[in-house]
Amino acid sequence: MESNKTRVDWTPQSTKHQAIAFGDVGSVATHAFWVNVPEGAYISDVVVGTETAFTGNSATINVKAGDSGDDDKFMTQTTATTVGTYRFGASNSIPMKQAITTGAYKNQVKLSVVVGTGAPTAGKLYWWVEYRYDPNTVWSQASLTDPS
């Protein structure tokens, strides 16, 4: 029997990764990028890997991760102007939490890329969300459609 439901038992999983290049954040502003997580999932880590440091025009670029209710719920602000990997689970003392469960941005995690002083002329990062469930959680695959 086929089913469009998926069952998991304490299995850590991750979203697809997103690449964000300097052209995607080409103005002084806060730029938002979103990924869906299944309903009921607990966010255990947000990973931001800077492949190429963001540079040019005296750019100050920081990233933070949260949801529509709290911009830094999962990752407090950190710089993206140096090459490295930043993980909220490893570096911050933020406990495992769920994404917001109501409203237009239900079950979505947001990465905010804050361009402070000048638009970058180089740079690229990747980010994804790692999550897990209580045992025997079941959800519909249709709920994981890409929000972009």
pLDDT at position 12, please?
Answer: 75
pTM: 0.77
Rounded to whole angstroms, how far apart are CA atoms 24 and 132?
30
Position 146 in a domain: no
Q: What is the CA radius of gyration of the chain?
A: 16
How confident is residue 1, by pLDDT bands cut at 50, 70 and 90? very low
Position 143 in a domain: no
Other CB atoms within a 10 A radius of the CB of residue 81 amount to 14
Q: Tokens at residue 127, please? A: 């980010």
Position 8 in a domain: no
Rounded to whole angstroms, how far apart are CA atoms 106 and 19?
23
Domain region containing 117: 13-133
Position 25 in a domain: yes
Q: How many domains does the chain fold into?
A: 1
Other CB atoms within a 10 A radius of the CB of residue 125 amount to 28
- Chain CA centroid to CA 72, Å: 10
Position 144 in a domain: no
Segment 101-124, tens digit of pLDDT: 777 778 888 999 999 888 899 999
Q: Tokens at residue 77, please? A: 């602000």
Q: Are strands 108-115 and 70-79 parallel, antiparallel or unpaired?
A: unpaired
Segment 11-50, tens digit of pLDDT: 678 888 999 999 999 999 999 999 988 877 888 888 888 8
DSSP state of 11: -
Position 7 in a domain: no
Domain with 91 in it: what CATH number?
2.60.120.340
Q: Tokens at residue 84, please? A: 């490295």
Apex 120 CA angle, 115 and 126, nearest 5: 75
